[in-house]
Amino acid sequence: MSKVTMKLDDLSCPSCMAKIEGAMTATKGVSSAKVLFNASKVKVEFDEKLVAADELVRKVEKLGYFVQNSKVNNN
Amino acid sequence: MIFQKWLYKNANRLMALSGLMIVLGYVGKYGFKNDWAWNISMLLASILGGVPIAIHAYQALRYKQISIDLLVTIAVLGAIFIGEYEESAIVTFLFTFGSYLEKRTLEKTRSSIKTLTQMAPATALFADGKEVTIDEVNVGNQLLVRTGSQVPVDGVIYEGTGLVNEASITGEAREIRKSAGDKVFAGSFLANGSIYVIAEKIGEDTIFGKIIELVEQAQDMKSSAEKFIDRFAKFYTPAVLLLAIVVWLWSQNLALAITILVLGCPGALVIGAPVSNVAGIGNGAKNGVLIKGGEVIHTFSRVDTLLFDKTGTLTKGTTQVVEVKTFGEVSENLLTKIATVEGQSNHPLAHAIVKFIARDERVEMGQTDVIKGQGIIADEILIGNEKLLTEREILLTESQKSLLKVMQEKGSSTVLVAQAGQLKIIYGIADEIRPGVKEALTQLRRKGMQKTIMLTGDNEASAKAVASQLGIDEVHANLLPEDKAKIVEKLKKLGHKLAFVGDGINDSPSIALADIGIAMGSGTDVAIETSDIVLMKSSFDELVDAYTLAKSTVRNMTQNIALAIAVVIFLLTGLILGGTGLVPSFVNMGTGMFVHEASILVVILNGMRLISYKAKS
């Protein structure tokens, strides 16, 4: 199981959370997704065999949120 | 999606443009009496402002969310449909402008956390002087930290000495001398010297990383009140939509229906509670008080009984000799012997005596016997408690006995030394009480704390002595950790709201059981993980700050919720009364949106008061 942490531009609408979390958990290979609203971060746990971290980052960007940087932890 | 990114980037420009169109529209209408220009510019303003809102609404709908954006979008479309271009333009502009201000002010409430994360080290130097980014550092790497730079990892010094300022971890700006073998923490500053460090923990695993992660998560951890509001909003927003449709079908009055859509926006209600919590938690974090979330704030504000561990919490946990009584002549040789015997023991009382005698000389001793629960016998010298002496027929005189009793009642543990069948010395050893505890307890009482209780493993006499010095209401002594936990459980059953204050390691069962567990943890990660609130400086001032902050945050949140509800009631009443014609109808889409956005700002500004709020009175 790997974990990717993405830092987004400041989030300001609480409904963004549901949007991003929904899009992430609907992706195959993602086991959990959490949006830290106030820190403007997304933390996603996923199976690297099924989905790549880059793909998840692209997906968040597609929703219209700019990803400032992302960090992947493999373990 | 590229379009969307463009919209996102240019949101502010679009908003300004839409505002400009509205101004042009008014100029056209009242300056040039030109209705055509008026309508066109208002329509353009509605589109410029409305498209981004509509996109947000659509995206949320894809994830089955009926958002505020959707209410506004439908209202705007409806207004355009019936030709009310002015209303639609004003509503979209106010909504976007409101969101913009909301974003700007929200940034302020998050500022304390931001300054914290910005303190995270970004670069490191390898021992050979090569500079790398923090991500390139691995556990086990040897790093160099120079004067004026930040320690990049948690690790151990293997060479060099320096003065380290650990303010980012403990909140206490004090320089501590550290040299080979000492631990250093990521985020602290090397004020002087240069040190070589072996990395033991990096990034998110460091204590600093954990603090940041904890606070970030805490700000999103919702209280039960907030969860309720979230659930409420989830049903409330669709309900408003439904109500508008029903009103429209029933009255055939589209204008009325869309006004209801705008009035029903739950803006201030949704943002009011989190804003207070975020600001409150941020304020705490800045001052070394880590609070794990909105629920903790809420519960802590209602705590009426404080339980304390004694050693290491109320006291510093460092024992020292505070009183010495000698009988007859005490030779230098005897003192050296005591230092030798006690120097071999690792009992805290023995440490205190060795430190007190303070001599490096040691002598060869004969047979040394340790008598469990009594003390040590070596070369005709007895060092231990009263029992050790009396069982070996060294009897104390009446005056010696009463002296012993007085010392114990003052809160000292006593160690007796006898030589050749005679009592020679009594050492009174005590643990120093933390400064400011008494004042802090008085303040807590004034702020509404009803009862203070001490739970300790120490003996009754010294426990009572400390308690009476500090004005603690109730004492339970001679307790094992599981006994403490039992008392916590019993008090909880009696309906008290409890907070347990301990050092975070050996009190963890009680900390976990109490309604609120508070750890006096100068940067230990066990304390950070097991408790609800961490006092990084281990000071009682922080405890008072935390309690006051919790109370103020809850008060602030209540004000916000009350205001939000009052605004909705005010608008709806205004609408109904206006409809009956009893009062002039002042409530329409435009004014409704204005009042809403204003109330959102008031709520955020109210929350912001907590950022700079000083708990100290």
- Which domains can be identified in chain A, with CATH numbers? 2-73 (3.30.70.100)
User: Touching check for A39 and chain B: CB below 8 Å?
Assistant: yes
Q: Which residue of B has its CA nearest to A66?
A: B5
Q: Helix/strand/coil (H, E, C) string of B496-548? A: CCEEEEECCCCCHHHHHHCCEEEEECCCCHHHHHHCCEEECCCCHHHHHHHHH
Distance CA B306, CA B447 (A): 13
Which of the residues B51, B55, B58, B63 would you substitute to probe the A interface, choosing the one with the greatest number of A C-beta atoms within 10 Å?
B63
In chain B, what residues touch A18 (CB-CB under 8 Å)?
60, 63, 65
In this predicted model, which residue has the larger pLDDT, B484 or B65? B484
In chain A, what residues touch B1 (CB-CB under 8 Å)?
61-62, 64
Read off the pLDDT band of B615 (50, 70, 90): low
Mean pLDDT computed over B507-515: 80
Instruction: Give residue B134's pLDDT.
Output: 84
In chain B, what residues touch A65 (CB-CB under 8 Å)?
8
Q: Which of B174, B430, B443 is nearest to B316 (CA)?
A: B430
Q: Which residue of B has its CA nearest to A67?
A: B5
CA B575 to chain centre: 43
In chain B, what residues touch A37 (CB-CB under 8 Å)?
219-220, 274
Q: Under an 8 Å CB criterion, which residues of B touch A?
A: 1, 4-5, 7-8, 55-56, 59-60, 63, 65, 67-69, 99, 102-103, 106-107, 110, 113, 117, 135, 216-217, 219-220, 270-271, 274, 278
Query: Least CB-CB distance to A63: which of B59, B117, B270?
Result: B59
Residue A48 C-alpha, separation from nearest chain B C-alpha, in angstroms? 20
User: Touching check for A58 and chain B: CB below 8 Å?
Assistant: no
In this predicted model, which residue has the larger pLDDT, B481 or B83? B83
Q: What angle do CA B214, B286, B559 make, to 5 degrees?
A: 90
Tokens 């005897």 belong to B334
Average pLDDT, chain B: 83
Give the ranges where B110-223 is alpha helix by DSSP (H).
111-118, 167-170, 207-220
| Number of Cβ atoms within 10 Å of the Cβ of A55 | 12
In this predicted model, what pLDDT tens digit does every residue of B101-120 receive, in sequence order?
Answer: 777 777 776 776 677 777 77
Read off the pLDDT band of B549 (50, 70, 90): very high
Instruction: Give residue B138's pLDDT.
Output: 87
Q: Tell me phi and psi for residue B532, to 5 degrees.
A: -90, -30
Q: Which residue of B has its CA nearest to A72?
A: B135
Read off the pLDDT band of B523 (50, 70, 90): very low
Please give the ipTM for the structure prediction: 0.73
Tokens 């943890």 belong to B521
The least confident of B250-259, B518-527, B567-576 is: B518-527
The least confident of B37-46, B141-150, B559-568 is: B37-46
Distance CA B155, CA A36 (A): 29
Tokens 């004000």 belong to B559
- Answer whether A38 sits within 8 Å of B219, measured CB to CB: yes
User: Touching check for A49 and chain B: CB below 8 Å?
Assistant: no
- Answer whether A15 sits within 8 Å of B68, measured CB to CB: yes
Instruction: Give residue B617's pLDDT.
Output: 45
In this predicted model, what pLDDT tens digit does every residue of B403-445 receive, in sequence order?
Answer: 888 888 777 888 899 988 889 999 988 888 888 889 999 999 9
Which of the residues B216, B278, B601, B608 would you substitute to probe the A interface, choosing the one with the greatest number of A C-beta atoms within 10 Å?
B216
Residue A11 C-alpha, separation from nearest chain B C-alpha, in angstroms? 8
Q: Which of B602, B607, B617, B616 is nearest to B112 (CA)?
A: B607
Tokens 């100068």 belong to B522
Chunk chain A into consecutive blocks of 10 residues (it has 75) and report each block's average pLDDT, rounded to whole numbers.
Answer: 85 71 85 84 88 87 82 75
In chain A, what residues touch B5 (CB-CB under 8 Å)?
61, 64, 66
- Answer whether B60 sits within 8 Å of A19, measured CB to CB: yes
Question: Which residues contact residue B575 at a Cβ distance below 8 angstroms, ignoring those fewer than 6 apart?
Answer: B259, B260, B263, B585, B587, B592
- Answer whether A14 sits within 8 Å of B56, measured CB to CB: no
Distance CA B383, CA B426 (A): 10
Is pLDDT of B522 > 70?
Answer: no
Q: Tell me phi and psi for residue B330, to 5 degrees.
A: -110, 115
Residue A5 C-alpha, separation from nearest chain B C-alpha, in angstroms? 11
Please give the radius of gyration of chain B, using alpha carbons only, rounded to the nearest integer.
34
- Answer whether A38 sits within 8 Å of B220, measured CB to CB: yes
User: Touching check for A74 and chain B: CB below 8 Å?
Assistant: no
Which of the residues B2, B59, B597 would you substitute to probe the A interface, choosing the one with the greatest number of A C-beta atoms within 10 Å?
B59
Q: Tell me phi and psi for residue B87, to 5 degrees.
A: -60, -50
In chain B, what residues touch A13 (CB-CB under 8 Å)?
56, 67, 99
Q: Which two tokens stand for residue B93?
A: 């502009």
- Answer whether B8 sits within 8 Å of A64, measured CB to CB: yes
Read off the pLDDT band of B57 (50, 70, 90): confident
- Answer whether A66 sits within 8 Å of B5, measured CB to CB: yes
User: Touching check for A18 and chain B: CB below 8 Å?
Assistant: yes
CA B507 to chain centre: 20
Residue B532 C-alpha, separation from nearest chain A C-alpha, in angstroms? 19
In chain A, what residues touch B113 (CB-CB under 8 Å)?
38-39
Which of the residues B73, B214, B217 would you substitute to probe the A interface, choosing the one with the greatest number of A C-beta atoms within 10 Å?
B217
Q: What is the pTM (predicted TM-score) of this model?
A: 0.72
Mean pLDDT computed over B447-475: 86
Query: Phi-psi region for residue B181, left (φ > 0), alpha (ψ -120 to 50) or beta?
Result: left
3-class DSSP state for residue B451?
strand
- How many CB pairs below 8 A link A and B? 65
Residue B138 C-alpha, separation from nearest chain A C-alpha, in angstroms? 13
In this predicted model, what pLDDT tens digit does every residue of B153-192 receive, in sequence order?
Answer: 999 999 888 888 877 776 566 778 888 888 888 888 888 8
Return the top range by mean pLDDT from B200-214, B242-256, B473-487, B549-563.
B549-563
Give yes or no for a contact between B516 and B532, defined as CB atoms under 8 angstroms apart.
yes
Is pLDDT of B553 > 90?
Answer: yes
Q: Which of B399, B456, B451, B447 is nearest to B423 (CA)?
A: B399
What are the C-alpha distances in Å from B399 to residues B382, B404, B405, B423, B447? 20, 9, 10, 12, 46
Q: Which of B517, B479, B482, B485 is nearest to B498 (CA)?
A: B517
- Answer whether B56 sits within 8 Å of A15, measured CB to CB: yes
Mean pLDDT computed over B529-545: 84
Instruction: Give residue B473's pLDDT.
Output: 92
Is the C-alpha dihedral spanning B134, B136, B139, B142 positive or negative? negative
Give me the sheet containing A2-8, strands edge to edge. Answer: A30-36, A41-46, A2-8, A67-74
Mark whether B458 is an active-site residue.
Answer: no
Residue A50 C-alpha, separation from nearest chain B C-alpha, in angstroms? 23
User: Touching check for A69 and chain B: CB below 8 Å?
Assistant: no
Give yes or no for a contact between B415 and B296, defined as CB atoms under 8 angstroms apart.
no
Q: Of B128, B135, B154, B309, which is the active-site residue?
A: B309
Mean pLDDT computed over B272-292: 84
Let me know how long chain A is: 75
In chain A, what residues touch B271 (CB-CB under 8 Å)?
14
Instruction: Give residue B173's pLDDT.
Output: 62
Share of chain B above pLDDT 90, in %: 12
Give me the sheet containing B451-455, strands edge to edge. Answer: B289-291, B533-535, B516-520, B498-502, B305-309, B451-455, B474-476
Distance CA B445, CA B471 (A): 11
Is pLDDT of B383 > 80?
Answer: yes
Q: Which residue of B has its CA nearest to A20?
A: B63
Share of chain B above pLDDT 70, in %: 92
3-class DSSP state for residue B147?
coil
Instruction: Give residue B525's pLDDT.
Output: 60
- Answer whether B220 sits within 8 Å of A18, measured CB to CB: no
